[in-house]
Chain A
Amino acid sequence: MKRLILALILVAAPVWAVQPDEILDDPELEARARVISKDLRCLVCRNENIDDSNAELARDLRLLVRERLVAGDSDEEAVAYIVDRYGEYVLLNPTARGANWVLWAAGPIMLIAGLGLGLVYLRRRQATPERKIEALSDEEKARLAEIMDD
């Protein structure tokens, strides 16, 4: 039921999300590495980023990200480097390229459509004259008496 399950099955000797020996000496680089790793998926885990993951592969990826940063890559270059090798699948934050624009635009489009429909509905409600309240039928009268009674 929990996210560790697969990771733990795959890893015989459990290692750990970010370990002390991985941390870079330069706090600024380390902070950037942490931000980057939060957006990269651990490929062998289920929906887990490499920053939180316990898998060996996640550790390798974390080290790789740090290596690239130490080598002087910008954040984008480091991510591109990983994507080149592991594919789009590693990005937890999908790009807007190709058909993915649908994914990104879906929220705003639906919101505008919803608000538009809502406004049309509200205007129509406002324009409708209030209907005359009809007299209650006998059945309804009986029911009303029942409700008022309790």
Chain B
Amino acid sequence: MITELGHFALVLAFLVACVQVVVPLIGAHKRWPGWMAVAEPAANAQFLLVAFSFAALTYAFVTSDFSLRLVVLNSHSLKPMLYKVSGVWGNHEGSMLLWVLILSLFGATAAWFGGALPPTLKARVLAVQSAIGVAFYGFILFTSNPFLRMAAPPFDGEGLNPLLQDPGLAFHPPFLYLGYVGLSMAFSFAVAALIEGRVDAAWARWVRPWTLAAWIFLTIGIGLGSWWAYYELGWGGFWFWDPVENASFMPWLIAAALLHSAIVVEKRESLKSWTILLAIMAFGFSLIGTFIVRSGVITSVHAFANDPERGVFILAILAVFMGGALTLYAARAGAMEAKGVFSVVSRESGLVVNNILLAVAAFVVFIGTIWPLVAEIAFGRKLSVGAPFFNMAFTPFMVALGLILPVGAMLPWKRASLGRTFKKLLPAFVLALALAGLSWAVQSGRSLLGPVGLFLGSWLIFGAAVDLWTRTGKSGFKRLMRLPRADWGKSVAHSGLGVVMLAIAGLMAWEQEDIRVVQTGEPFEIAGYTLVLDSVDRVQGPNYISTMGTVSLSKDGKAISTLHPEKRTYPVSGMPTTEAGIDNGILRDIYVVIGDPQDDGGWAVRSYYKPLSNWIWGGAILMAIGGVLSLSDRRYRVAAGARKMTAAGVPAE
């Protein structure tokens, strides 16, 4: 019964969304306040209906209702509760429902917090947002309905893929979707502005918080996914340049570019049409990502049940929205006249270079991702484009970005002098160079990767610190705490990027690996640490059987910790997973994986010394914190302003 109600709610949401597209658009065009006002309650209704629908599906998973096809395919009565709930979005249909839930949530928040928006813009934004909703409700209802029943319900389900039975599943996809879908707001604002034919500083100020929020969520989502891969997959890789990872990385890069260009629109009323184009592209890449994940045209490790019909549907959505938006853009972009005038050396120019580097980097990733498809269709060549290509083709852009970032971030608006700005940064530059030199001297004749990464990372971190410090002027510390949050956000996020660069380079350059057959009780060494495999036991888990090793880790005779690398077998699916034993340290991880028993009674054991690995995610967290700080800056508190206005009883315009 609840299932049917959930299904019905989704159909209703579809209908409400249709109304929300048509009525406010006509209203905005004809300036009929009543028609425009429809958007707001419709957005709320849509959100409540989808939320109910999602709750109904969750209920079916929690109660293990095996009359529902989706539950049978993806759940099992013995599964721990956490995975029953997160199993809702551990599959194609459920994850699409989460997708539209977030989409309608963003639409509803625009209705809640959009009090300060001009009524026509607000109506149009909500209508465009709802149009995206219509497309995806249609997609779910016609190709991927999660509410299908079984004719003959089985006694138990087939279980969730063991690799997904991890707390990572509970958080990684929701954050990623919050990011992906959040970019739909930037898209809606861009299209609404094109329809209005007006982009000004106020528009940029409204659109930036949404983009910033989406970017923060994407950062967290990507970071979580990378961390999950690191501890779950058994060799401690953190990024594989897999098509689906790229699918989340491209919108991240474009969103980062958009964040920066929106500042130029806001402060200097320039780069308007470019910003609009970026907003359209950012969501375009989100849709492309959705297409890559769900259509199966590009082989990826993220296995979703794919079928061509779905791929075609998403391709059609992509074509309609991108084609429509870009046509509108071509017709209207010329009308957006830039106002600000600035010299070639200025903050504006720095941000233009930032945008070029980020956008081109995103396109390099894009071409690399779709090239196997292009080569096969156009030239009949079956080839692969993998990590080595991306490392080589993508990294130079990030190195260039890292080099110019501290300088660009400190250039004054309008007219600047490179020499004067660099002079302020000289201490940071020298310090970074010294650190790199030190690491070069300490490491014994290995690659330049480590020192270069260390230089870039510390140059970014120290540069961000100098930036913050010079903002205080002469009053020093007292002023530091009273700086606008946006200034703090900028420096924190930039140093976060520095931390990530430093950590990735350090990890790749100074990692050590050891593969061997180990007898229990016999010590072996890696990077100065001593490991002993004390015992190997069979342990019964809630829904799996584990072969668990006990490894004691020590250095110079001092015990540090005990690690438990595991190999788990899930009887329901018959699939094994590896759980690495990791000793997390500030400067390094010791990472141990247990393999197969050997004929001579020993065990195959892989161990790694992974320097700086935690800083990769630490840096991502810093970037996200920087984003949150910037988001909480006073000038973006649209909601606060709106609430005050209603309280004061300002009449609607």
* Contact partner, B164, options A1, A94, A125, Cβ 8 Å: A1
Q: Count contacts on A: residues with CB < 8 A to the other chain.
A: 60
A107 & B163 in contact (Cβ 8 Å cutoff): no
A49 & B242 in contact (Cβ 8 Å cutoff): no
B169 & A1 in contact (Cβ 8 Å cutoff): yes
When C-beta atoms are compared, the residue in chain A nearest to B641 turns out to be A150
When C-beta atoms are compared, the residue in chain B nearest to A124 turns out to be B338
Task: Kindly state whether residue B237 has any CB partner on chain A within 8 Å.
Answer: yes
* Contact partner, B371, options A6, A89, A94, A121, Cβ 8 Å: A94
Q: Assuming the A-B contacts A2-B233, A39-B388, are A20 and B360 also in contact, with contact meaning beta carbons closer than 8 angstroms in the complex?
A: no
B375 & A23 in contact (Cβ 8 Å cutoff): no
Q: Assuming the A-B contacts A4-B233, A5-B301, A130-B341, are A47 and B364 also in contact, with contact meaning beta carbons closer than 8 angstroms in the complex?
A: no
The A1-41 residues at the B interface (CB cut-off 8 A) are: 1-6, 8-9, 14-21, 23, 38-39, 41
A38 & B388 in contact (Cβ 8 Å cutoff): yes
A89 & B341 in contact (Cβ 8 Å cutoff): no
The B585-613 residues at the A interface (CB cut-off 8 A) are: 595-596, 598, 604, 606
B383 & A88 in contact (Cβ 8 Å cutoff): yes
Q: Which residues of the partner chain B approach A45 to less than 8 Å between Cβ atoms?
A: 301
B302 & A92 in contact (Cβ 8 Å cutoff): no
Task: Kindly state whether residue A71 has any CB partner on chain B within 8 Å.
Answer: no
B344, B378, B382, most chain A CB atoms within 10 A:
B344
When C-beta atoms are compared, the residue in chain A nearest to B172 turns out to be A1
B240 & A3 in contact (Cβ 8 Å cutoff): yes
B299 & A19 in contact (Cβ 8 Å cutoff): no
Task: Kindly state whether residue B479 has any CB partner on chain A within 8 Å.
Answer: no
Q: Which residues of the partner chain B approach A41 to less than 8 Å between Cβ atoms?
A: 384, 386
B242 & A47 in contact (Cβ 8 Å cutoff): yes
The B382-401 residues at the A interface (CB cut-off 8 A) are: 382-389, 392-394, 396-397
A94 & B363 in contact (Cβ 8 Å cutoff): no
The A48-77 residues at the B interface (CB cut-off 8 A) are: 48-49, 52
* Contact partner, A92, options B232, B353, B388, B393, Cβ 8 Å: B388
Q: Assuming the A-B contacts A8-B575, A122-B352, are A106 and B301 also in contact, with contact meaning beta carbons closer than 8 angstroms in the complex?
A: no
Task: Kindly state whether residue A136 has any CB partner on chain B within 8 Å.
Answer: no
CA gap between A118 and B360 in the complex, in Å: 12
A3 & B242 in contact (Cβ 8 Å cutoff): yes
Q: Which residues of the partner chain B approach A119 to less than 8 Å between Cβ atoms?
A: 344
The B271-308 residues at the A interface (CB cut-off 8 A) are: 299-303
Q: Which residues of the partner chain A approach B387 to less than 8 Å between Cβ atoms?
A: 38, 49, 92
Q: Assuming the A-B contacts A14-B576, A89-B382, A126-B342, are A118 and B353 also in contact, with contact meaning beta carbons closer than 8 angstroms in the complex?
A: yes
Task: Kindly state whether residue B107 has any CB partner on chain A within 8 Å.
Answer: no
Q: Which residues of the partner chain A approach B169 to less than 8 Å between Cβ atoms?
A: 1
B367 & A103 in contact (Cβ 8 Å cutoff): yes
The B555-590 residues at the A interface (CB cut-off 8 A) are: 575-577
Task: Kindly state whether residue A131 has any CB partner on chain B within 8 Å.
Answer: yes
B644 & A94 in contact (Cβ 8 Å cutoff): no
A16 & B604 in contact (Cβ 8 Å cutoff): yes
When C-beta atoms are compared, the residue in chain A nearest to B388 turns out to be A93
CA gap between A22 and B341 in the complex, in Å: 65
Task: Kindly state whether residue A84 has any CB partner on chain B within 8 Å.
Answer: no
When C-beta atoms are compared, the residue in chain A nearest to B269 turns out to be A131
Q: Which residues of the partner chain B approach A6 to less than 8 Å between Cβ atoms?
A: 301, 303
When C-beta atoms are compared, the residue in chain A nearest to B161 turns out to be A5
B164 & A103 in contact (Cβ 8 Å cutoff): no
Task: Kindly state whether residue A137 has any CB partner on chain B within 8 Å.
Answer: no
Q: Which residues of the partner chain B approach A111 to less than 8 Å between Cβ atoms?
A: 356-357, 360, 397
Residues of A that sit less than 8 Å from B by CB: 1-6, 8-9, 14-21, 23, 38-39, 41, 45-49, 52, 87-94, 98-100, 102-104, 106-107, 110-111, 114-115, 118-119, 121-123, 125-126, 128-131, 146-147, 150
Extra contacts besides A89-B384, A111-B397, A147-B641 (15): CB < 8 Å: A18-B606, A20-B598, A41-B384, A41-B386, A47-B241, A90-B384, A92-B385, A104-B393, A107-B394, A110-B364, A115-B356, A122-B352, A125-B341, A125-B348, A150-B641
14 contacts between A and B (CB under 8 A): A1-B161, A5-B161, A5-B163, A19-B515, A21-B517, A47-B241, A47-B243, A88-B381, A92-B386, A94-B385, A110-B363, A118-B352, A126-B341, A129-B341
